[in-house]
C-alpha cells in the first residue's frame, strides 16, 4: 500500500488516521479512548522518527501504521488509568493517603 506523507500530515482526528491506514476499529473504543490512543500513537511516532532517520517516507508510514494499530490494541485490553500516559495520572495528590500506604501490624 502506498501512502502519502503530505496527506498524513493533514490528518487531525483518530478516525482519520484509522481511515487513512485502512485499519479496522470499533468506534466506541476510539470514542472512549481517543486522547489516549492518539497520545500513545504520538509517542510511537517520535520514537520511530528518532530511530529511523534513514528510512524512506514510505517505510516510516508503514511503521506509523503499525504504531497506530498497536496503540489501539493496547486500549482493547487496558485502561487509560493503567497506562498512565498523561501527567495527571502520574501525579499523586498531596493530601491523600492511599490504602496501600497504610501499614497493618
pLDDT tens digit string along 34-77?
988 999 999 999 999 999 999 999 999 999 999 999 999 988 87
Which residue segment(s) compose the domain that 69 sits in? 5-101
Among 26, 18, 29, 32, CA closest to 68: 18
Residues of the chain by 3-state class (helix, strand, coil), percent to 5: 65, 0, 35
What Cα–Cα distance (Å) separates residue 49 from each residue in 56, 61, 101? Answer: 11, 10, 40
H or E segment and range at residue 74: helix 57-77
Q: How many domains does the chain have?
A: 1
DSSP 8-state symbol, 84: -
- What pTM value is reported for the model? 0.74
Amino acid at each position: 500500500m502506498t501512502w502519502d506523507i503530505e496527506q498524513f500530515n493533514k490528518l487531525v482526528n483518530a478516525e482519520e488516521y484509522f481511515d487513512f491506514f485502512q485499519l479496522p476499529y470499533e468506534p466506541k473504543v476510539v470514542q472512549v479512548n481517543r486522547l489516549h490512543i492518539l497520545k500513545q500513537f504520538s509517542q510511537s511516532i517520535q520514537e520511530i522518527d528518532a530511530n529511523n532517520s534513514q528510512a524512506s517516507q514510505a517505510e516510516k508510514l508503514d511503521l506509523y501504521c503499525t504504531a497506530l494499530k498497536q496503540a489501539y490494541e493496547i486500549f482493547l485490553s487496558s485502561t487509560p488509568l493503567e497506562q498512565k500516559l498523561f501527567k495527571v495520572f502520574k501525579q499523586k495528590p498531596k493530601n491523600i493517603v492511599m490504602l496501600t500506604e497504610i501499614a497493618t501490624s
